[in-house]
Amino acid sequence: MTQKTTNVKTKMELWLIFSLLTVLCWGTYGIALHGGAVGMQDPANGRYKAFLIVGLMYFLVAVLAPAATLLANGQSLNVFSYPKGALAWASVAGILGAIGAFGVLLAFGAKGNPAVVMSIVFAGAPVINAIVSLLMHPPKSAIHPMFFVGILCAAVGGCLVTFFKPGAPPPKKGGSPAPIEQKAH
């Protein structure tokens, strides 16, 4: 192998490793967020407290780490000196990410099953991404039919997880019977 081939292979392996890191982190995000919200032991405000902590962690990871990297590379931290279009797109990305994360939290607060909520999010997001990308960057040639099959599979997968989510475990034998609901007369 030539040096150039080795560099290309290494770069491709790195992008795959980073992609899988993202899958792992985002795949466990909802579980961790739900655990934090429930663990606050505050049914009315626990999810907001958990989201506040998420925001603080975002600050550590998404602000301090890139700032340190930019400074180490001799780059400016004056965001207003960055290209205006890029600044606008990056701002929209941050807002959309925060609103999406808050939407997950609100779904949990509205009694959404975390496994179902996250399955819908992660099945639906690629569909939205594909549609918006096609609208923003129309292809120059015909779209392969398997592209549409992939979109359909993602949508169907989200529906299947929603409709066939695992139920609560059956009551233990010999345990106390379920309380009988009293009706007011």
pLDDT digits (tens, 9 = 90+) for 43-73: 999 999 999 999 999 999 999 999 999 999 9
pLDDT-derived band at 7 (thresholds 50, 70, 90) equals low
Query: In angstroms, rounded to a whole number, what is the distance separating the alpha carbons of residues 50 and 35?
Result: 9
More confident residue, 168 or 92: 92
CA 73 remoteness from chain centre: 29
Quick one: which of 162, 165, 144 has its CA closest to 154?
A: 162
Q: Determine what percent of the chain is predicted with pLDDT higher than 90.
A: 58
> 138: helix, coil or strand?
coil
pLDDT at 139: 93
**pLDDT confidence of residue 136:** 95
Torsion 137-139-143-147 (CA) sign:
negative
Domain boundaries, the chain: 1-104, 113-165
* pLDDT tens readout for residues 78-132: 999 999 999 999 999 999 999 999 999 999 989 888 888 888 898 889 899 999 9
Whether the model pTM is above 0.85: no
